[in-house]
Amino acid sequence: MTESQTSTRTAPGTRPGDAPLLEVKDLQVEFRTKAGVAQAINGLNFTLHAGETLAILGESGSGKSVTAQTIMGILDMPPGRIAGGEIRYRGDDLLTMKEEARRELRGGKIAMIFQDALSALNPVMPVGWQIAEMFRIHRGMKRKEARAKAVEMMLRVGIPAAEERAGDFPHQFSGGMRQRIMIAMAIALDPDVLIADEPTTALDVTVQAQVMRLLKDLQTEFNMGLILITHDLGVVADVADKIAVMYSGRVMEAADVYEIYGKPGHPYTRGLLSSIPRIDDEGGRLRAIPGLPPSLTDLPSGCPFNPRCEFATDRCRTERPELRLVAEGHLSACHYAEEVYAGTATTTQRPSPTGTGMIPVSKEAPE
């Protein structure tokens, strides 16, 4: 998909027609398992420009983290295997690049904030030493100079008493402070692209807001392209420029953030939005998406979302929909995208009594 297809507004610091920082074209990643071949990513496409935030949304198992690992070049192979596609950074394909050259880009030009800061940080090394290592390895700084830069980065991400705390170990920090340390490491070398994989997991809502504001401020300061991977739609509402919704390794919908939240064009996106609480709601039970995502080794025929979709028909169970325009800059992989977008789609199924699947609506089915 092109930039004009995935976003209707220009990110801060970019000009219309600017070449993208990062381009993912028809990416395919699979895992060889005892149960068969799991298609973790199946034809992924997106672009990212300087100063732009792309949010990749979806349930666990949709392929979000595998996408991040593949871009960074840290995917475990085997069992993982890149079956096709391109990942271009400033026009150069990372997948065909020599490992030495790619290692120079990793951390320096493309950086990543990992999901679990406590697991990602070395538990037996002081945090200041871990941040300083970025400057020693990539910039060739001496130990004293690198430590001074580490303290500077800690101050930049809002860690108080940074000079004293640089000698502390990860377990001596709160979850929010550990996440700030991870951010300090990621931005230490002024990367062009920053990938944040579930950066607010296990943090309370106040700390979540602080972390997201910090990321947005740093992005503005460095004019970075930011890829924000999450399952929480509330986290990205204020920071994303465009959103790609993934399911079973595919992008099901892609659009400007205002379009996604205002007029979703895919039943899956609509279900995700319906499952989050609203401040203007009078109460009652949240509407959950019934069932579970399918096994990646045994995907259903047709649309992968059809077993859980309230609008599914026989066509959805036999014919796989492709991404297509339903409005300017708005793509959806649904046979009935126009009806879903307009709010006129007709429900053909209802939740099963157990809440674990869907059953057809028929005259014989008791209400």
Q: Note whether 297 and 291 are within 8 A (CB).
A: no
pLDDT above 60 for 113: yes
Q: Which is more confident, 325 or 283?
A: 325
Percent of the chain with pLDDT over 70: 88
- Cβ neighbourhood burial of 318 (10 Å; 0-12, 13-18, 19+): exposed
- pLDDT of 42 over the 50 cut: yes
| Cβ 29 vs Cβ 161: under 8 Å | no
State the pairing for strand pair 110-113/193-197: parallel
Give residue 304's Cα distance to chain centre: 19
- Whole-number percent of the chain with pLDDT over 90: 47
- What whole-number distance in Å separates Cα of residue 112 and Cα of residue 100? 18
* Residue 205 three-state SS: helix
> What integer pLDDT is reported at residue 324 of this predicted model?
92
Q: What is the mean pLDDT of residues 237-243?
A: 88
Cα–Cα distance measured from residue 98 to residue 167, given in angstroms and rounded to the nearest whole number: 36
pLDDT mean over 82-102 = 91
Distance CA 151, CA 267 (A): 48
- CA–chain centroid gap for 157, Å, is 22
pLDDT of residue 10: 44
Token look-up 């390895």 returns 137
Tell me the C-alpha distance between 236 and 232, whole Å: 7
- The SS3 call for residue 147 is helix
* H-only helix segments in the chain: 3-6, 64-72, 99-105, 117-120, 127-139, 143-156, 162-165, 175-187, 205-222, 233-236, 257-262, 267-274, 314-318, 337-342
User: Which range (20-34, 132-146, 193-207) has the least confidence?
Assistant: 193-207
Structure confidence at residue 7 as a pLDDT band (50, 70, 90): very low
Q: What is the per-residue pLDDT across 214-228, written as a single tens digit (0 to 9) for each?
A: 888 888 888 999 999
Give the integer Cα–Cα distance in Å for 247 and 153. Answer: 37
Q: Cα 161 vs. chain centroid, distance in angstroms? A: 33
Alpha carbon distance 323, 330 (integer Å): 10
Identify the DSSP state of 153: H
Query: Per-residue pLDDT for 201 more than 80?
Result: no
Look over the chain and give the mean of its residue pLDDT values, rounded to a whole number.
84
From residue 147, give the alpha-carbon distance in Å to each of 140, 209, 265: 12, 29, 50
Task: Give residue 349's pLDDT band: very low, low, confident or very high (50, 70, 90).
Answer: low
Weakest-pLDDT range from 78-82, 246-250, 258-262, 355-359: 355-359
Half-sphere exposure (Cβ direction) of 251: Cα atoms closer than 13 Å: 27
pLDDT over 70 (residue 108): yes
- Residue 272 phi/psi, 5-degree rounding, is -60, -45
Query: Which position has the higher pLDDT, 203 or 155?
Result: 155
Separation between Cα atoms, residue 72 and residue 56, nearest integer Å: 16
Q: Residue 316 pLDDT > 90, yes or no?
A: yes
Q: Other C-beta atoms within 10 Å of 199: how many? A: 25
In this predicted model, what pLDDT tens digit does every residue of 354-366 receive, in sequence order?
444 444 443 333 3
* C-alpha torsion angle, residues 316, 321, 323, 329 (rounded to 10): -40
Could you report the per-residue pLDDT of 147-169, keeping only the tens digit for each? Answer: 999 999 999 888 999 999 999 99
pLDDT of residue 279: 67
Q: How confident is the model at residue 321 (pLDDT cuts 50, 70, 90)?
A: very high
